[in-house]
């Protein structure tokens, strides 16, 4: 059975895990400012746990298109008071969404279990940090921001190359494969066509690679908003998010990063049951 190991335990991936998004940023594209105080963040975290989230992913910096990066120190000033109250009350694994090694290290000291490295870099020390602490590590392609790439980019081939390199680096630094989760980075450094291809052709990306946890996060993103005759506002993107995530799940993703936990849990459970029927 496939597993994903983190600081204090193991997630069995015989079913799909829903990772609930807890943004404590003032400028995230869909929920900026809604949960950026400790009390608000804790209430939302507890709500997502009640709805069935298996992981909570806490982020202190937006990576939306056109975002203005902040320093590691400013990011930590946002995160620290929220981590204090959330870790004290929430028992499920916590993930920290960052591209700063120093923020990741401080978060691990507060009891965070998983580093969700959104940098796309393999030179920022995150794999070494995860190996040192026994933490789970999400390695995402194309990070740092959600800018477009040319339409001609072969997203499938590029992400596959990144995954091969990421797994090689993890082995080199002594990070066990069970602690690695690969993320194709939908919405990060791809065209809309590339984003669609990654969900639809995920088996091509993964073919022949060692078995590893795979995360997909397209919740409310532009690839969903662009599916109609005119762009959909983020608050109308839940049906499309569920559709894209179901396809990614069918094709091998076992962790889905979402804003709308209750709907995602229901959709993932049904898709899991259909996957079992095809075997």
Residues serving a catalytic function are 221, 257
Of 226, 246, 247, nearest to 236 (Cα)? 226
Residues 6+ apart with CB under 8 A from 31: 21, 23, 259
Q: What is the DSSP-derived secondary structure letter of residue 178?
A: G
Distance CA 88, CA 191 (A): 40
Reduced to 3 states (helix: H, G, I; strand: E, B; else coil), residue 174 is: coil
Q: Please, which residues bridge with residue 10 across strands? A: 5
Tokens of 245: 């995530």
Residues 6+ apart with CB under 8 A from 263: 238, 242
Q: Taking a C-beta distance cutoff of 8 angstroms, is the pair 156, 195 a contact?
A: no
Helices (H), 174-231: 192-200, 202-206, 222-225
């Amino acid at each position: 059975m496939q597993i994903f190991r983190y600081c204090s335990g193991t997630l069995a991936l015989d079913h799909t895990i829903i990772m609930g998004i807890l943004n404590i940023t003032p400028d995230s594209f869909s929920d900026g400012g809604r949960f950026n105080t400790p009390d608000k963040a804790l209430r939302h975290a507890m709500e997502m746990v009640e709805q069935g989230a298996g992981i909570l992913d806490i982020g202190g910096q937006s990576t939306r298109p056109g975002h203005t990066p902040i320093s590691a120190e400013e990011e930590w000033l946002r995160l620290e008071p929220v981590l204090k109250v959330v870790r004290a009350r929430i028992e499920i694994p916590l993930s920290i969404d960052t591209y700063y090694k120093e923020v990741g290290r401080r978060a691990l000291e507060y009891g965070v279990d998983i580093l969700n490295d959104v940098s796309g870099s393999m030179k920022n020390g995150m794999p070494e940090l995860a190996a040192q602490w026994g933490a789970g590590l999400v390695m995402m392609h194309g990070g740092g921001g959600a800018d477009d790439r040319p339409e001609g980019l072969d997203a499938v081939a590029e992400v596959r190359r990144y995954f091969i390199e990421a797994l090689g680096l993890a082995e080199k630094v002594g990070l066990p494969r069970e602690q690695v989760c690969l993320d194709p980075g939908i919405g990060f450094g791809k065209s809309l066509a590339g984003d669609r291809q990654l969900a639809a052709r995920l088996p091509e990306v993964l073919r022949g690679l060692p078995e590893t946890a795979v995360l997909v996060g397209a919740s409310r993103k532009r690839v969903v908003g662009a599916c109609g005759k005119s762009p959909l506002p983020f608050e109308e993107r839940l049906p499309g998010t569920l559709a894209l995530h179901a396809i990614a799940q069918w094709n091998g993703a076992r962790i889905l990063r979402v804003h709308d936990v209750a709907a995602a849990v229901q959709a993932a459970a049904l898709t899991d049951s259909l996957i079992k029927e095809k075997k």
